[in-house]
C-alpha cells in the first residue's frame, strides 16, 4: 500500500530528500498527492513558522472528512508554537514532528507509517470478509482504533453505543485480532439475563451439591474465558455485589466456585459493552467508580446509524445479499427514503426493515416502495416553508422598515448576519466564501467593515 506525500514547503531541502530516501529504504513506497490517489495514509511536508490556512484546510478536508491518517513534518528552522501544533491536531493530523528534532531518529516516522499500513491492510480484509460493513469516515476511524488496540495491546476495552449499533460485532473483532499466542475462547455473558440467585454460578461456576438442583459441577464464565476473552454485554446491568466480585477478579485474577473453598486462577482479556451512560450511573452510584476505571482503559463509542448515514446504501446491499444470491436492483426512490428515514434501533432496525421488504418482494424486477409494509412506507412530506416566507422573518423586515431602515441598510444587515452565521458554521474565510458563493476578498472586506463600525 502506497503513502501519499503533500508538499507545502517550496523548493528542495536536504531534510526532505533524507526523509524520503529513508522511507524508500524501509520499502515505504510513496507518491505525490493528487486527487486520484486511492491510499488514505499520508505525509504533509511543511516549512512554516506560523499559521498556515492552506495546510489546515487540506487537513480538514482529507483527515477529518475522509478519515485519512496524516502525519505533518515541519522543516522550518523555527519550531512550531504549541498553539499552531494544536491547530494541526484539531484539523485532523495524528502526529506533528519538527524535522530538526527527529532527523537522527527517522525510525519513529517509518515505524508509525508501517503500523498504519498494517492496520489499513487489516481494515480492507475485515470489510471484504466479515459482517462489518461501512466506509464512512466516522466508522472507519472506530475500526482503525479497534484494530490497533487489538493487535498491539492487551488492555480491557469498554464499548459504548446505542442499541443495535453492532457492539457485539466490535467485541468479536477485538478477540479475533488479539495478538496473543495460544489464545483461548471468546466467552459471551449477557448481563441482562443474569438472575440474582444463579448469577454466581453463571460467572464463578459451582460444585456438585452446592445448592438445591446443582446435580453436577459446572465451570463458570471466568474459567471458560481463561487465556481467552470475556465479553460482558450490557455491563451497566450488572448488580453492585457482582461488580465488587468482578473488580476483585480483575485485580487479583483469582476466584472461588460456588460451594468450594479452593481458589482458582484465571487470566482473560475483558471486553465490556453498554448502551447506558456509565458517567450518569457513576453519579447515581449504580456503578462502581473503581470498576469503571479498570474496564475503561480503552473506550470505544460505536457511532449510531444517524452518524454514519452514508453507509446506508452499502448496508442495504449487504442485507439483501443475505436473502438473494443475485442482489436485486433497488429503485432510487427506495434508497432515498431509507437514507432519510429515522432509525431509533440503528442497524438492527434497518436489517429488520430490509427483511420485511424481502417478504413482499417477488423478484424479476426492482425493489420499489410497493415492497414496503404499509407501516414502513413514507408519509407524504409537508410542503416545506422557505426561510424568507416565515412569519418571523417578514416581521423583522416590517420592523426594519417601520424603524426607518432604507433598502441599502437592510441589505447590509442581512449580509453581515449571513457572514457571521457562515463563520460560526465553517470558521475560515475560504470556506465561508465557498458557502456564500462570494470571493475571499469580499468576505475580508465585510468583516473589516464590521470591525470598524464597532470601534
pLDDT of residue 162: 94
Whether the CB-CB separation of 156 and 269 falls below 8 Å is answered with yes
Q: What is the DSSP string of 291-337?
A: HHHHH-SEEEEPPPTTTTGGGHHHHHHHHHHTT-SSPPPB-HHHHHH
Angle (CA) 259-261-267 rounded to 5° is 100
Q: How far apart are CA 33 and CA 44, in angstroms?
A: 9
CATH number of this structure's domain 309-371, picked from the four choices 1.10.150.120, 3.30.450.20, 1.10.8.60, 1.10.3720.10: 1.10.8.60
Q: What is the dotted CATH code of the domain comprising 3-118?
A: 3.40.50.2300
9/161 Cα distance (integer angstroms):
42
Domain residue extents for the chain: 3-118, 137-301, 309-371, 389-454
Same fold, 3-118 and 309-371: no
3-state secondary structure of 391: helix
Query: For 166-205, how does the pLDDT look when each residue is reduced to its tens digit (9 = 90+)?
Result: 999 999 999 999 988 889 999 999 998 887 666 777 888 8
Joined together, the cell numbers standing for residue 377 give 412506507
Residue with cell 471468546: 186
Lowest-confidence range among 202-211, 245-254, 443-452? 443-452
Rounded to the nearest 5°, which phi and psi values hold at 331?
Answer: -60, 140
Higher pLDDT, 63 or 363: 63
Average of pLDDT values for 6-10?
Answer: 84
pLDDT score at 22: 94
Instruction: Name the burial class of residue 104, with classes exposed (0-12), middle (13-18) and buried (19+) by CB atoms within 10 angstroms of its CB.
Output: exposed
- Which residue, among 52, 47, 46, has the nearest Cα to 83 in the 3D structure? 52
Q: Quick check: 287 and 247 in contact, CB under 8 A?
A: no
Can you give the pTM of this predicted structure?
0.78
Phi, psi of 41 (to 5 degrees): -125, 130
Separation CA 455–CA 6 (nearest Å) = 42
Contact (CB, 8 A) for 33 and 6: yes
Helix/strand/coil for 262 = coil
Whether 153 has a pLDDT exceeding 70, the answer reads yes
- Measured in Å, how far apart are the chain's first and last C-alpha atoms? 56
SS3 418: helix
264: closest CA among 250, 275, 253? 253
Confidence of residue 91 (pLDDT cuts 50, 70, 90): very high
Predicted confidence (pLDDT) per residue in 201-242, tens digit = 788 887 776 666 666 777 889 999 999 999 999 999 988 888
Cell (9 digits) for 189? 455473558
20-36 per-position pLDDT tens digit: 999 999 999 889 988 88
CATH class in words for 137-301: alpha beta
Question: Helix or strand or coil: residue 367?
Answer: strand
How confident is the prediction for the chain on average, in pLDDT? 87
- ∠ CA(152), CA(153), CA(154), 5° rounding? 145
Which residues neighbour 256 within 8 Å (Cβ) at sequence distance 6 or greater? 204, 262, 263, 264
- What average pLDDT does range 275-281 have in this prediction? 92
Amino acid at each position: 500500500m502506497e503513502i501519499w506525500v503533500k508538499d507545502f514547503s517550496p523548493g528542495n531541502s536536504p531534510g526532505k530528500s533524507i526523509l524520503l530516501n529513508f522511507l524508500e529504504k524501509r520499502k515505504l513506497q510513496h507518491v505525490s498527492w493528487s486527487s486520484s490517489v486511492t491510499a488514505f495514509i499520508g505525509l504533509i511536508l511543511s516549512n512554516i513558522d506560523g499559521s498556515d490556512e492552506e495546510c489546515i484546510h487540506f487537513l480538514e478536508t482529507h483527515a477529518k472528512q475522509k478519515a485519512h491518517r496524516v502525519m505533518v513534518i515541519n522543516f522550518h528552522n523555527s519550531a512550531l508554537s504549541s498553539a499552531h501544533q494544536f491547530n494541526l491536531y484539531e484539523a485532523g493530523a495524528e502526529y506533528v514532528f519538527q524535522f530538526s528534532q527527529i532527523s537522527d531518529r527517522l525510525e519513529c516516522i517509518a515505524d508509525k507509517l508501517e503500523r498504519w499500513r498494517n492496520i489499513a491492510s487489516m481494515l480492507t480484509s475485515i470489510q471484504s470478509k466479515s459482517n462489518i460493513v461501512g466506509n464512512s469516515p466516522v466508522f472507519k476511524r472506530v475500526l482503525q482504533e479497534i484494530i490497533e488496540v487489538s493487535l498491539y495491546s492487551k488492555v480491557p476495552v469498554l464499548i459504548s453505543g446505542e442499541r443495535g449499533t453492532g457492539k457485539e460485532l466490535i467485541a468479536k473483532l477485538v478477540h479475533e485480532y488479539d495478538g496473543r499466542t495460544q489464545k483461548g475462547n471468546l466467552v459471551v455473558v449477557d448481563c441482562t439475563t443474569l438472575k440474582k440467585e444463579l448469577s454466581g454460578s453463571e460467572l464463578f461456576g459451582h460444585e456438585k451439591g452446592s445448592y438445591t438442583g446443582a446435580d453436577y459441577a459446572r465451570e463458570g464464565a471466568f474459567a471458560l474465558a481463561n487465556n481467552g476473552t470475556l465479553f460482558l454485554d450490557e455491563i451497566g446491568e450488572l448488580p453492585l455485589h457482582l461488580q465488587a466480585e468482578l473488580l476483585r477478579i480483575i485485580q487479583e485474577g483469582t476466584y472461588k466456585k460456588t460451594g468450594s473453598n479452593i481458589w482458582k486462577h484465571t487470566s482473560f482479556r475483558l471486553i465490556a459493552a453498554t448502551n447506558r451512560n456509565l458517567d450518569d450511573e457513576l453519579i447515581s452510584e449504580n456503578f462502581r467508580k473503581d470498576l469503571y476505571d479498570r474496564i475503561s482503559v480503552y473506550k470505544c463509542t460505536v457511532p449510531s446509524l444517524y452518524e454514519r448515514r452514508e453507509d446506508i446504501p452499502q448496508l442495504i446491499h449487504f442485507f439483501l445479499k443475505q436473502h438473494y444470491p443475485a442482489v436485486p436492483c433497488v429503485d432510487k426512490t427506495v434508497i432515498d427514503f431509507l437514507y432519510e428515514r429515522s432509525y431509533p434501533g440503528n442497524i438492527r432496525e434497518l436489517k429488520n426493515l430490509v427483511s420485511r421488504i424481502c417478504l413482499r418482494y417477488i423478484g424479476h424486477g426492482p425493489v420499489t416502495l410497493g415492497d414496503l409494509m404499509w407501516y414502513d412506507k413514507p408519509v407524504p412530506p409537508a410542503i416545506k416553508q422557505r426561510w424568507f416566507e416565515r412569519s418571523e422573518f417578514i416581521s423583522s423586515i416590517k420592523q426594519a422598515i417601520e424603524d426607518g431602515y432604507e433598502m441599502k441598510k437592510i441589505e447590509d444587515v442581512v449580509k453581515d448576519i449571513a457572514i457571521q452565521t457562515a463563520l460560526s458554521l465553517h470558521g475560515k474565510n475560504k470556506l465561508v466564501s465557498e458557502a456564500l458563493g462570494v470571493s475571499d476578498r469580499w468576505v475580508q472586506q465585510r468583516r473589516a467593515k464590521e470591525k470598524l463600525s464597532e470601534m
